Amino acid sequence: MADVQTPQVSKGLEGIYIDESSICKVDGQAGKLYYRGYPIEAVCKNASYEEVAFLLLNGRLPNKAELDDITKTMAKERDLPDGVIQIIKEMNGKAHPMDTLRSAFSALSAYDKEVTDQSSEANMRKAIRIISKVSSIVAAIGRLQKGQPYIKPDTTLDHVTNFLYMLNGRKPTQLEYNIVKDMFILHAEHSSNASTFGTLVAASTMADMYAAVTAGIATLKGPLHGGADEAALKMMGQIGNPNNTEQYIEDALAGKQKIMGFGHRVYKTYDPRARIVRDYLLQIKDSSSPEVRTYTEIALRAEKLMIDKLGASKGIWPNIDFFAGPIYLAAGVPADLFTPIFAASRSVGWTAHVLEYWQNNRIFRPLEIYTGKVDLQYVPIDKRA
């Protein structure tokens, strides 16, 4: 029960536990991340995205038959209804891909006969359907905004290869595949972050899974959360020349600006996901693309300065989104698709949390301290100043 005599506000719900969960542990002091108990480094090295989806949804690694089954089901569910493709076409060029994704995804509910079936079996089927289709929507958005025709999914390909095939019309190189596969895995889940909390708030009203995930997509968009990867690359673009990096950062900090891709509510040391992303940065730093080489140098110089200035002293370190931009560019992914891909990947975490929360649901209904007046005299409109 809340203490109504001496109420305490925790801005941003800092330090507040909303529930118990066995999906993911973020150890912000040690800089460690576990999916269902498995260290993220081992998951990233060994698993496919389909295997990670099974792990997060079911709480354990699949056996061979189960992995085969979820892989086939995800492939079978990839198709998009024509109505959803029409929405993407209609919004193409007029809206940011995150807005198009939010609208197109929301419309999917119209085509799912199980939308109101709240049995756990139907909800698990919907979770897999959603995870599968969000990536198809993102690929379709990317494809159409390049002015190229929609490519139907290929059910013979794994999830990530199919995503890149639908986006680019060709199979990825090994490096492109590795980068995007690892980003899909690294972004799949991260405990009670803002978008997962947004998803759970919607789910806690017993709104359906599509409504809940739509809330997650909407919440992910902002630059303080999922939008940071695109915003960090934009900042690197503004820096322009690597030799401007230090001055730019010094000026931004002096002006009390936040440096996108740094800082985290939970990690007070290096984000373990950022280390994996940074390893790719080192792999691509001699890339043939001058643009990628420039961004890579800026990113490494900015990282050094930020850690020197704010790492140990304020616990501000790079998060996963800082190095994402240059490596995505090296994989042929344009900047405005970074956050939509984050959403596609995070659909696993969102749905896993909804399934878990619904096992023991309670509506979210926090309090606020009212600071306004009471018992004011109602003044008729013609008597007001």
CB of 183 to ligand SDX, least distance (A): 12
CB closer to ligand SDX, 143 vs 190: 190
Helix (H) or strand (E) holding 26: strand 24-27
Q: Are 273 and 185 in contact (CB under 8 A)?
A: no
Strand partners, 32: 27
Q: What is the SS3 assignment for 124? A: helix
Residue 340 binding ligand SDX, by CB under 6 A? no
Residue 274 binding ligand SDX, by CB under 6 A? no
- 238's tokens: 């503004």
**Amino acid of residue 80:** L
Q: Which residue has the tokens 């940065």?
A: 281
Write phi, then psi, for 8 (nearest 5 degrees).
Answer: -115, 135
Burial class (CB in 10 A: 0-12, 13-18, 19+), 73: middle
Residue 264 binding ligand SDX, by CB under 6 A? yes
Residue 143 binding ligand SDX, by CB under 6 A? no
**Amino acid of residue 130:** I
**Is 321 considered catalytic here?**
yes
User: Of the candidates 204, 319, 339, 347, which one interacts with ligand SDX according to CB under 6 A?
Assistant: 319
Give the DSSP per-residue string, 224-293.
TTTTHHHHHHHHHHHH-SGGGHHHHHHHHHHTT---TTB--SS-SS--HHHHHHHHHHHHHTT-S-HHHH
User: Of the candidates 263, 272, 311, 340, which one interacts with ligand SDX according to CB under 6 A?
Assistant: 263
**Considering 264, 271, 279, 375, which one is annotated as catalytic?**
264
Among 73-81, 225-233, 288-296, 364-372, the segment contacting ligand SDX (CB under 6 A): 225-233
From 363, 358, 271, 268, select the one nearest 322 (Cα to Cα).
271
**Considering 69, 79, 99, 225, which one is annotated as catalytic?**
225
CB of 87 to ligand SDX, least distance (A): 26
Separation CA 205–CA 199 (nearest Å): 11
CB closer to ligand SDX, 77 vs 271: 271
Q: Which residue has the tokens 């209904």?
A: 365
Write phi, then psi, for 251 (nearest 5 degrees).
Answer: -65, -45
Residue 190 binding ligand SDX, by CB under 6 A? yes
CB of 267 to ligand SDX, least distance (A): 8
**Is 225 considered catalytic here?**
yes
Per-residue contact flags (x/-) with ligand SDX for residues 231 to 260, judged by CB under 6 A: ---------------------------xxx
- CB neighbourhood size of 139 (10 A): 26
CB closer to ligand SDX, 12 vs 169: 12
CB of 309 to ligand SDX, least distance (A): 9
CB of 272 to ligand SDX, least distance (A): 11
CB closer to ligand SDX, 88 vs 248: 248
CB closer to ligand SDX, 142 vs 349: 349
- 54's tokens: 């099974």
Give residues with Cβ within 8 angstroms of 153, minimum separation 6: 75, 78, 79, 136, 162, 166
Residue 309 binding ligand SDX, by CB under 6 A? no
Which residue has the CB atom at the shortest distance from ligand SDX? 263
**Considering 182, 229, 271, 321, which one is annotated as catalytic?**
321
> Contacts with ligand SDX: how many residues (CB under 6 A)?
20
**Is 96 considered catalytic here?**
no
Residue 225 binding ligand SDX, by CB under 6 A? yes
- CB neighbourhood size of 39 (10 A): 14
Catalytic positions, written as ranges: 225, 264, 321
Residues that bind ligand SDX (CB under 6 A): 12, 190, 193, 224-226, 228, 258-265, 314, 316, 319-321
